[in-house]
Structure formats: structure tokens, C-alpha cells
Structure 1
């Protein structure tokens, strides 16, 4: 049976019919990818119009929180109801949030509408990746993963550019309005061209208790990690209470899931070697990505003295290396296996992190970009095969949950990275100046450089841990049938 016939028997369509579906998935993921960068360059315009400078960090935190905690829920629903309705719901919710953001009249209103956007984004990325896992065989996914990764690479250039153009020449509100035609186009193609065979409808028992415990406990955990040391000190009563309640709720979640007939996040996900390795790798990828995206531009501007645009291009070197490696990774893991390919990538990440440690105030921005490019190549060889391996290890009925868990692990990694790297940087500042400094951008270069350099040590440690996480991935994973 050919891959085309196999896909057709699973109810998703022949090779010639999958192109528009892939395009719609890429367009949908592109909405989320561009939205991750487009707002950053427009913050001054937003604050000037709406006020609320002290609240603007919540525009990013609330979005990340909503996206992260909703991912596992959408993954389970996609396994129960099918991918199409959940994906369309996510796109609709994202477009609705975009419309509301565009008409926001105050900073609190904009933050609330960003919450709606985040809930939509929580469905788009994991379900989009799940659809790709459904309609393409393992061999075909090798190339398609490169296409998906290229979306993020393009977004790293397009997002900041569009954000600057809209805020300087039109209005920051068009940052959100531009999502409307793109979202509608993606939804229309999915509605018309994407057909899937879902098992005969049965009565599903919704895991309400597990969903609530995961959503609230996960939100508090991420909130504590994101805002600890920022909105409140780590040893404050607020920080301790938030993290303690989060641990209690997530512990209760584990007990509930053990007895739930259809758990929102089955505990077997935590007991399989393939999934544990893939999720551990995803968590560390999230740590590395947030470390680079936050501190590389800051180093380029504050220490090397470049413009914001040049600093953005230095970081974009990482997102350029990622899709190149992801498109090549398939040829390697099909021949040599998953663990070999991922180990190759993890070692490249370590090499890139070592290069990053040699960057100093006398380095050129091109050298900084080279280190980011090498890390991006390593991440492409590591992250893409891990997703394919995880999806291949389960059948259709569990693929949504597995993909959602992988995306959730990456989100948690980003939150952990924010907390750890922020604590490291603030610790250096405290030693140098005698107190913590809330705005790293205003620090003198002789203080900023060692603060960020210590963050790079943290990134190097995460790269080494990535090598160990990859060791547990089997070299071969038997692809499971649809049913």
C-alpha cells in the first residue's frame, strides 16, 4: 500500500487534495507565529494611545498563559470530536479576539481580548500539527516539517516589519485587523477541502474536573514562573501562595486523571519512553528559545550598540537555521533513526551555545548571528524528529493528546526559562549595583554584558541537558495505524 493510498484509507484525501489543506494549516499557524512578534514593535504606540504602561507586559503573559493551558484540552477534544471542528473553532476564536483587540478602548480591555486570542492560538498550533500527522506518512512528514518550520522563520522577519509599518504609518490596530482576512481564508479552505473520517459518534464523558484542575493549576504555575521576580519577589507571600496552590491543584489533577473514564491528559502519556524523551526535549527547546529571543536582541542593542532592526536580524538567524535543518532531518532519521538524528542536532546546539559563550562586547553582530544560526540548525534537527516520533508512536485516537502534550511541554519550558534566566540576570545586577534593577534595557553595558553572559551559561546548561533527554529516544518507532 502506498503512502497515498494509506492516507486515503484514513479518510483525509489523496496527495493532490492535501496541498490546499497543508496551505490552510500553514496559514493558520502563520497567524500565531506572526502574532508572537508583531506586537512587540508596536508597544510604544499602544501605550501612547491607551496608556497603562505598567500593565503592558500582561499583553504577552496573558496570551502565553491562555495558549499554554488550553493546548492539552484541545488535543483531547480533537481526539474525541475530530480535528476539523476544533481547528475551525480555534481559528474563529483567534479572529474574534483579533477583532476585539483592534477595537480595544483601554489597556485592561486589550489584555482581556488578548486572552481570547490566546485561547484560539491554543487550538491552532497543536491541532494544525496533528492534522499534518494525520494526512502525511512518516516519510512525507520529513519534508512537511520543514515547511511548517519555515512559517516561523518567515514570521520572524514579517512580524516585526509589519508591526513597525502599521504603528508608524497607519495604526497599531491594524496589527490585529490584518488577521481577519488571513483567518477567514484559512477557515474557508479547511471547511471546503478538509474531510476526515471520525469513528461513529459515541457518547463521550467530558473530564470537567480534570480540565478545571489543569487549567487553573497550570495557569497559576505559569503565572508564578512568569511574574516571579517581576511583579513580586520570589520569596514574597504572593509568590509562595501562588506556586503552592498550583502544586496542590496539579497534584489533585493527577489523582483525578487516574480515575477519569476519558481523562483530558491520560497519565500513560507520562509513562512511554518515546513521549517522555520527546516532551523533555520540547521543554528544553522552549527554555532555549525564550533565552535567545529575550536576551540576544538585548545584548545586540545594549552591549554591541546595534539598532533594534539589526538586533532582530541577529535573532532571525536562528529561525533561518531551524527550517533548513528541519527539511533535511527527515532524510537522516528515515535512514539512521530518530535518536541518531536528534543526538546530532543536540550536539550542534551545544556547539552553538559554546559559540554564544565566546561572544563579548568586542564581538561583531555577525558573530552573534552565527551562534544563533548554529543553535537554530541544531534545534531543527532535534525538535522536528521528536514531534514525528511522538505522533508515530500512537494511533489516530491519541495523536491529538500526544501533540498537545508536546506543545504544552514547550510552553512550560518557555515559562521556566523566563523565570530562571530572569533570576540569573537580576542576580548579576544585584551583585554589581547592590540591588535588583527592573529594566535591563537601561543598564550600562558593563553591567548588562555580564548579566546576559551568565544567561548564556544557563542556555549552555540547557543544551547539555537536551543531549541527555535525547538519549532516551528509541532509534526506531513503529508507525501506528489510524485505528
Structure 2
């Protein structure tokens, strides 16, 4: 139980460290100390536990390390789309919540379709090929979102979101199957669980990092406006400002959200780099 406690404490400390409020006074120093102590205690508990959460064998396996890093980056990049694409569609394109929902749902549509298709391709291609293909599709989708402009239209956001979902489907399915086919039966379960845990951890860290980036850019560019996004989305607040002020806020929010999509491109480039070093032989499973 202690290892679970220290793991949660380390994760919470890291997420707090990424928040924009952690740099006031000595808060950041306290959080860093808490994080380091938690990690050291976690390592000690894992080394003496008869049944550790993460067996040492996992972290000595090159495939496990590469797959978990890839899954972590996938989870982090995914949150940039899930959390902020609807906001971009509503604020910049002046669209309603239904259109924002369509933009986000395109990723949910592309993901399962790509998972099915990649499952069929696994028997005739290599893991490396599918990882590189999924990474390129993911990068392309994030590029579409990073270059969104008022004149590009809302349909480009649909395309970008769909391509991100397709890339996620290719990567997630391939990494899971690669681990399950390459690990011995005794650790297949924990190996797969570690992959899913990494993706969820990446989602949490990505949310904190993207939020910190957005708050930082908005506070620097709009110091005299308390909450620019809320002003643009709230009809009552919207009507209390002049048009030139609203235009300035829309432009500023669009630029700030573009930084988030650019950061998502960086995260989506990590699986591509991993794919270049991903060498594993596929094994035939017994019928």
C-alpha cells in the first residue's frame, strides 16, 4: 500500500508543479522536494516489496520502455485536442456547441476505425511500419490544427481531429499488441497495464502542461482582462465589451491555442522517433 501512496503523491506533486500557481513564494521548492522524496520512497518500497507494482524486469526491457514513453506522449498530446479544440471552434469560428462537439467527435470516430484497420494490417506488415504510419498521421492532424485560421474554415478542424484519431488508433493498437506478443505470459497483464497507466498519466500531465501554457500566454498578452475565454463564451459578458476589444481577445486566444497545438505536434513527434528504434519480432499465437 505504501508504494501506491508514494506513487500518487509523486504524480500529484508533478501535476501541481506544472500548474501556473506553483511559482509563487516557496511553493515550487516545496513541491519539488515532495516530488523527489516521493520518488525515492517509491523506489525503496518497490525494491523491498515481495510483489512490487512495477517488477524490475519491466524496466529492464527495451520494448517496455519505448512503448511506455510512446503511450505517455500519446496521452499528453490527446488532451491538447480534447480540452481545447472545442474552445477554438467556439471562440475563433464563432460556432455553437454542436459544431464544437462535431469537431471533437471526429477524433472519436477516427480512433476505432483505425484500430480495426491496423488490426488487419498487423498480419501483413511490421510493428515499426504501423507505428511510423500512425505517428505521421498524428503529426499531420496536429499540423492541420496548428494552422487553423479564421479563413481556413471549420472543416479543417474536422479533418485535423479525424487524422489525430486515426493516428491514435494506429499507435495504441500496435503498441498493445506488440507488448502482448513479445512478453512472457506471466507478465503480459502487468505489461499491458503499465502501457494504459502511462497513457492516463500522460493525459493528466498533458492537461496540466497545456493549462499552464495557456494561462501563461493569456496573462502575458491580456493582463487587463481577467478571463478572456469566459468573456468570449459568456453572452452577458460578451455584450459589455466593445467590438475592437472583442476582436483583440479573439486574436489573442487564437494565438494562445495555436501554441497548444504546436506543443501537441512536439508530443506527436515522440512516437515517430520511438518507431525508428522499434525492432521486435512478431510471434505466432497458438490457435
Shared fold, TM over 0.5: yes
Q: Which residue matches 1:214? A: 7
Q: Which residue matches 1:256? A: 45
* Mean CA deviation greater in 253-262 or 342-351: 253-262
1:68-87 → structure 2 map (5 Å cutoff): none
1:99-138 → structure 2 map (5 Å cutoff): none
Q: Which residue matches 1:153? A: none
Taking a change above 3 Å as real, the CA distance of residues 214 and 240 of structure 1, as seen in their structure-2 partners, is same
Q: Structure 1 residue 455 and structure 2 residue 248: aligned?
A: no
Deviations 1:83-110 (A, max 9, x none): xxxxxxxxxxxxxxxxxxxxxxxxxxxx
Q: Which residue matches 2:246? A: none
How far did 1:411 drift? 1.7
Taking a change above 3 Å as real, the CA distance of residues 451 and 387 of structure 1, as seen in their structure-2 partners, is same
Taking a change above 3 Å as real, the CA distance of residues 438 and 391 of structure 1, as seen in their structure-2 partners, is farther
How far did 1:237 drift? 2.9
How far did 1:437 drift? 4.7
How far did 1:417 drift? 1.2
Q: Distance in 2 between the 1:272 and 1:309 partners?
A: 46
Taking a change above 3 Å as real, the CA distance of residues 213 and 424 of structure 1, as seen in their structure-2 partners, is closer
Taking a change above 3 Å as real, the CA distance of residues 436 and 402 of structure 1, as seen in their structure-2 partners, is farther
Q: Which residue matches 1:387? A: 176
Deviations 1:302-344 (A, max 9, x none): 1111111210110110111111111010222222111111111
* Structure 2: runs of 5 or more not aligned: 233-248
Q: Distance in 1 between the 2:170 and 2:14 partners?
A: 30
Q: Distance in 2 between the 1:441 and 1:387 partners?
A: 40
Choose from 64, 75, 82 the match for 1:286: 75
Paired residue total? 270
Q: Structure 1 residue 312 and structure 2 residue 101: aligned?
A: yes
Taking a change above 3 Å as real, the CA distance of residues 454 and 211 of structure 1, as seen in their structure-2 partners, is closer
Larger RCO: 1 or 2 (CA < 8 Å, sep 6+) = 2
1:272-421 → structure 2 map (5 Å cutoff): 272-421=61-210
How far did 1:271 drift? 2.0
Contact 1:221 1:247 in 2 (8 A): no
TM-score calculated relative to the size of structure 2: 0.86
How far did 1:280 drift? 1.1
Q: Distance in 2 between the 1:347 and 1:379 partners?
A: 11
How far did 1:461 drift? 1.1
How far did 1:260 drift? 2.4
Contact 1:426 1:436 in 2 (8 A): no
1:38-49 → structure 2 map (5 Å cutoff): none
Q: Distance in 2 between the 1:209 and 1:480 partners?
A: 38
How far did 1:221 drift? 3.1
SS at match of 1:252: helix
SS at match of 2:124: helix
Deviations 1:52-92 (A, max 9, x none): xxxxxxxxxxxxxxxxxxxxxxxxxxxxxxxxxxxxxxxxx
What is the Cα-based RMSD across aligned positions, in Å?
2.2
TM-score calculated relative to the size of structure 1: 0.52
Contact 1:222 1:412 in 2 (8 A): no
How far did 1:236 drift? 4.2
Contact 2:15 2:208 in 1 (8 A): no
Contact 1:273 1:473 in 2 (8 A): no
* Structure 1: runs of 5 or more not aligned: 1-207
Contact 1:348 1:377 in 2 (8 A): yes
Q: Distance in 1 between the 2:184 and 2:276 partners?
A: 24
Q: Which residue matches 1:89? A: none
Q: Distance in 2 between the 1:437 and 1:468 partners?
A: 40
Taking a change above 3 Å as real, the CA distance of residues 211 and 420 of structure 1, as seen in their structure-2 partners, is closer
